[in-house]
Structure 1
Amino acid sequence: MTDTRPRPKRATIFDVAAEAKVSRGTVSRVLNGEPYVSESSRAAIEAAIRKVGYVRNTAARNLATQSSGAIALIVHEPHSVFVDDPNIGNILLGTNAALSDADYQLVSLVIDTERDSERVTGYLGGGFVDGAIIVSAREGDPISKAIADLHLPAVMVGRPDNQPQLPWIGIDNRGAARQIVERLIGTGRRRVGMIAAGLDRDSGRDRLAGFRDALGDDLDPALVSEQELYSFTAGVTGMTELLDRAPDIDGVFCASDAVAAGALDALRSAGRRVPEQVGVVGFDDSAWALRCQPLLSTVHQPAGVLGARAAELVLEQIRSGGRGSRAGVMLDTHVVWRDSA
């Protein structure tokens, strides 16, 4: 049955003005946060807004200012990783907090397929967002090129060296990886391997490079298992491969905490004791690290701060008309040493 009831009339700025017994211009100044309105008038207008149920027409305001009031967070990861990776969640929360403080809306866009890339590219060109933050950009990522072509204010979390020169924020993945692997070796390990992942992006390549730096001439290529994603499944698969190749392996650096959790599961299934027989370290200091048994030694990266600072850098570009800083920003990391090594 069709509902023929009339839709309730939306309260307007004129209704607020009539109820508060002030001019429309005075109401507009209050709504826009402008000065030169008496406290009594401001109180009357705020009371009138509540009484008539006025809701500001954001779409109309954005049309007038040619601004959407929204920033896109573009995550180039499979849906499973987007849901399971605590780092992405913390980046999202940090971004949202900074945007909320600035009265901007966060729009999350997840790219899992080529069709997603085409859809998101069209969306960005439609003027629906004022800027973008890109997480996990890949080699040859069409989204980064589209953003550069659109001259859209944007920041990359990470710093792919083959992408358009967009501002970026990141960490020293290579140096941090070298530091934790050297500490793992310092516990007396002699057959140290790595479960590498995410090698189609700068973070994965840099963590592998840091592992190689730490091993130097002692590096055995057979003790590197290359996996596609920073995932629990990659850790199980990679650790199983390493045990088959080198049963005497006694140390493992995992490219992420999720990978390390999978590696620990595979080691338990193989009857290997951690850390007595095999020392395991990860990277991220995410919720995975505290769910592991034993608790995971890892590199702490400030995911929430990465998201917040990325949002601030995009807002800086918007407010300056594109004249904000184009330089990269590097945040500090540190090793968190727990029981797994």
Structure 2
Amino acid sequence: MVIEHASPTLDDVARTAGVSRSTASRAINGGDRVSPEAQTAVDDAVARLGYAPNRAARSLVTRRTDSIALVVPEPDARILTDPFLAGVLRGVSEGLTGTELQLVLLLARPGEPPGHIARYLRSGHVDGVIVASHHKEDQLESELMRSHLPSVFVGRPFDTESLHFVDVDNASGGRTATQRLVDRGCRRIATITGPLDMTAAVDRHDAWQHTLEDADLPAVAVENGDFTVAGGAAAMERILAQHPDVDGVFAASDLMATGALQVLREAGRQVPDDVAVVGFDALGAERTTPRLTTVLQPVVEMVTSATSTLLDVLSGADVPAEPQIFVPRLIEGESA
């Protein structure tokens, strides 16, 4: 005959600690009005009995879910192929090390109407949210400000007045990339932008334009991409068709630069002798041929910092309103 031993209850903890049930509950759930002596007695009782709080019951009392969401408003296929998004996942994982928080991953589905993810977040399923790779039309900024749900953006939001965020200095990185091409002697420098409903893409494009204007060079060869290899390849084909004398390309991501390199190779253009190429991210640049010259975006460190900021907000700590901005730097390869 198998004898099943019942799991210890909150009443068992209170009895062992010599305190009331309500005191034991407050001590376990991190409430106030618990003396140091009572807290120590409850902690000892929990350890001796092997008591595990019922998360569902506790959430009814504390209104906490012990979960945070990572929101990536991109199709799920991008998670598997985009090294930036893989770095985002790694950064959140490292940031949650040592905590008991559960991670909820929210991705955009094809055809999903704007605001769908925001409505889910407003419904109380999570305690806080980290947002990465967001677009203006996602409506996440306005919805999160209205809901007052603790949130941190990876990448500058369009509305920075009341939202926490971490970012790389995209303007500085864009200038560094473009200036590298100018210093090399390129005089007909094109750019492949990211989606211009994202602040990172806007900042990198504007930096390219301003750098060329400062060098008295034309800033006319612009094609939009989507931060993918295929998007970079299609944009490079359009550039060669419209500006066949191009001798330099700043691609606003390494994936788009990879697509550009493929098209240049198929067109018989030697890199960097005929056309020099600089990317942005330093994520997988060493796997291109030739090895890509690029601008480092420390995505894992950025997201780990964003996660730490969110944890501070959830704990009630005094979190500075100023964003955390990481400094980019050029990683020399063989493409420029």
TM-score relative to the length of structure 2: 0.85
Aligned pairs (5 A) from 1:216-227: 216=213, 217-221=216-220, 223-227=221-225
Aligned-partner Cα distance in 2 for 1:98–1:107: 14
Which residue number corresponds to residue 332 of structure 2? 337
SS at match of 1:35: helix
2:312 equivalent to 1:313: no
**Could you list the runs of 5+ residues in structure 1 that have no partner in the other structure?**
1-7
Which residue number corresponds to residue 208 of structure 1? 205
Change (3 A) 1:218 1:58: same
2:10 equivalent to 1:12: no
**After alignment, is 132-141 or 328-337 more displaced?**
132-141
SS at match of 1:295: coil
Q: Contact 1:11–1:55 at 8 Å: present in 2 too?
A: no
**Could you list the runs of 5+ residues in structure 2 that have no partner in the other structure?**
31-38
Which residue number corresponds to residue 236 of structure 1? 233
Aligned-partner Cα distance in 2 for 1:290–1:245: 30
Identity percentage over the alignment?
32
Cα drift, residue 129 of structure 1: 0.6
2:278 equivalent to 1:290: no
Aligned-partner Cα distance in 2 for 1:138–1:38: 46
2:295 equivalent to 1:299: yes
**Letter aligned with residue 225 of structure 1:** E
**Letter aligned with residue 132 of structure 2:** V
**Letter aligned with residue 176 of structure 1:** G
Change (3 A) 1:211 1:68: same
Aligned-partner Cα distance in 2 for 1:180–1:139: 25
Cα drift, residue 81 of structure 1: 2.5
Aligned-partner Cα distance in 1 for 2:140–2:94: 24
Q: May I ask how many residue pairs the two structures share in their alignment? A: 320
TM-score relative to the length of structure 1: 0.84
2:267 equivalent to 1:267: no
SS at match of 2:130: strand
Cα drift, residue 255 of structure 1: 0.7
Aligned-partner Cα distance in 2 for 1:24–1:58: 24
The Cα offsets for residues 239-296 of structure 1, whole Å up to 9 and x where unpaired, read as: 1111111222111110100000000111111111111221111000012x12211111
RMSD: 3.0
Change (3 A) 1:178 1:60: same
Of 83, 86, 93 in structure 2, the residue corresponding to residue 96 of structure 1 is: 93
Cα drift, residue 10 of structure 1: 9.1
**Letter aligned with residue 84 of structure 2:** N
Aligned-partner Cα distance in 1 for 2:43–2:208: 65
The Cα offsets for residues 78-115 of structure 1, whole Å up to 9 and x where unpaired, read as: 33333311111112211122123232121111124563
2:70 equivalent to 1:35: no
The Cα offsets for residues 104-142 of structure 1, whole Å up to 9 and x where unpaired, read as: 121111124563644322321221111111112222432
